[in-house]
Amino acid sequence: MRYTQRISAKLDKFRPSLTLGLKALVQERAARGLPVYDFGLGETKGHLNPEIRAAGEQAFREEETMYADPGGLPELRASVLRWLGLEHVYGPEDVVITTGAKQALLNTFMAIANPADVFLFDAAPWVSYQPLAVMSYATPIMVLPRSNDRMLVGPDDLERNIRMRPHARMFLLNNPVNPTAQMYDGDTVAALARVCARHGLYFVLDRLYWKLVFDGGAFPEPPLDDEVLPWLVQIDGMSKNFRRAGGLRIGWSVGPRDLTDAMVNLQSHYTSGPSVPSQRAALAALESSYDYTLVADLQRKRDLLIAAARSIPHVEVWDTPASFYSFWDVTRVFGKRTPSGEVLADSDDVAAYLCETAGVVTASGCGFMQDGYLRLAFDIPDQEITAGMTEARTAFAALS
């Protein structure tokens, strides 16, 4: 036998995406006629904006289905800069249009990592950062904050970790944070960016939820001066800030030209750029006036969920200033028994118990390296939120 190991050691250790797995679980329960309250996968629902649909349809009608520029349609690259308010800072050549924000992240990681370089992530990293880092031959490490204030990393925490890790090449900040729904303030973002720049580390800002800020708040933009710009890469896309747009698979990065050139070069070899009709749809979205009813709807759903969740026993519900997630501390149920006598030992157990007994599907904190927590995505119908919270309350109250 020539090969004893059929799958590379790198991929063999991957767990499938937790959140996409939740979608399959919901479909399976629904097919079996079981009740299901789907707080699992983080995706916007509702209906696609008519302009987006029309542009996609038109692209197919006009047979815009041939290969295009691997870095993305030039007009979409320019439009992304206007969408981000960066048209006076960058040129369209500094933008790469990608197959979802995931590819923008992988492009960035592949473009900057040498084998065994360290990538620093915040304290509750989104599920795919670590696999993407491993794919790029980098070693992912979480920056653990000294003060346990909502898992937010401060500049001192970052300094300390950089000093300990001479091979650190990058710090990735996800703001607003998936899964915790917290938002770093402008001073902290600026301080973190400057720590990176001073140490010659890339500061990668994943801002995928940046429009979904509640209570009149605004997304804190990073500093754009000569110190920070050479190290700043911003990642964004269509998947969260627009209704029902995750399947368009369009994202983008904006960053320094040398890095962008390297990413376009890379992308030209492995996707040749994203689907052209999807790019046309994205262009229509960015060129239309933004649909703020999405933000208003999500804020109302957040209020509905949080008001109901606060009376659930044993659960501490965190505030949600942005995004569409509610983050629950469920450590107080560890060690408790379910009515059928099982002891709940970790967040996977709590998520499984809620799903099996109440039909309430949540994402376990274990998928985000934070055992002790559950994440609930709330862009679902109001009645489903209310009914799901009632079921969850009954399930938690039944623990002894």
Contacts to ligand PLP by CB under 6 A: 42, 100-102, 126, 174, 178, 206, 208, 237, 239, 246, 251
Continuous segment of H or E residues that includes residue 140:
strand 139-142
Nearest approach in angstroms of CB 223 to ligand PLP is: 21
Q: Which CB atom, from 294 or from 389, has the smaller least distance to ligand PLP?
A: 294
Tell which phi-psi region holds residue 200, choosing left (phi > 0), alpha (psi between -120 and 50) or beta.
left
Q: Which CB atom, from 127 or from 309, has the smaller least distance to ligand PLP?
A: 127
Query: Cα 270–273–278 angle (5° rounding)?
Result: 135
Q: Which CB atom, from 359 or from 367, has the smaller least distance to ligand PLP?
A: 367
Nearest approach in angstroms of CB 375 to ligand PLP is: 10
What is d(CA 201, CA 56) in angstroms, rounded to the nearest whole number?
Answer: 39
Q: Which CB atom, from 301 or from 393, has the smaller least distance to ligand PLP?
A: 301
**Pairing outcome for strands 232-237 and 202-206:** parallel
Give me the helix-helix angle, 74-83 and 276-287, nearest 10°: 30
Nearest residue (beta carbon) to ligand PLP = 100
Q: Which CB atom, from 141 or from 344, has the smaller least distance to ligand PLP?
A: 141
φ, ψ for residue 191, nearest 5 deg: -65, -40
In 3D, which of 142, 138, 139, 134 has the Cα closest to residue 12? 134
Contact 109, 202 (CB under 8 A): no
Q: Which CB atom, from 235 or from 312, has the smaller least distance to ligand PLP?
A: 235
Q: How far apart are the first and last CA of the chain?
A: 54
Continuous segment of H or E residues that includes residue 38:
strand 37-38
Nearest approach in angstroms of CB 239 to ligand PLP is: 3
Nearest approach in angstroms of CB 280 to ligand PLP is: 17
Nearest approach in angstroms of CB 251 to ligand PLP is: 5
Nearest approach in angstroms of CB 41 to ligand PLP is: 8
Each as own residue / partner, the long-range contacts of residues 63-68 (CB below 8 Å, 24 or more positions apart, any chain) are 64/276, 64/277, 64/280, 65/276, 65/277, 66/276, 67/272, 67/273, 68/273, 68/276, 68/279
Residue 317: strand, helix, or coil: strand
Q: Which CB atom, from 81 or from 105, has the smaller least distance to ligand PLP?
A: 105
Check residue 318 and report its DSSP letter. Answer: P
Q: Which CB atom, from 49 or from 174, has the smaller least distance to ligand PLP?
A: 174
Nearest approach in angstroms of CB 129 to ligand PLP is: 8
Nearest approach in angstroms of CB 235 to ligand PLP is: 7
φ, ψ for residue 228, nearest 5 deg: -90, -40
What is d(CA 168, CA 122) in angstroms, rounded to the nearest whole number?
Answer: 14
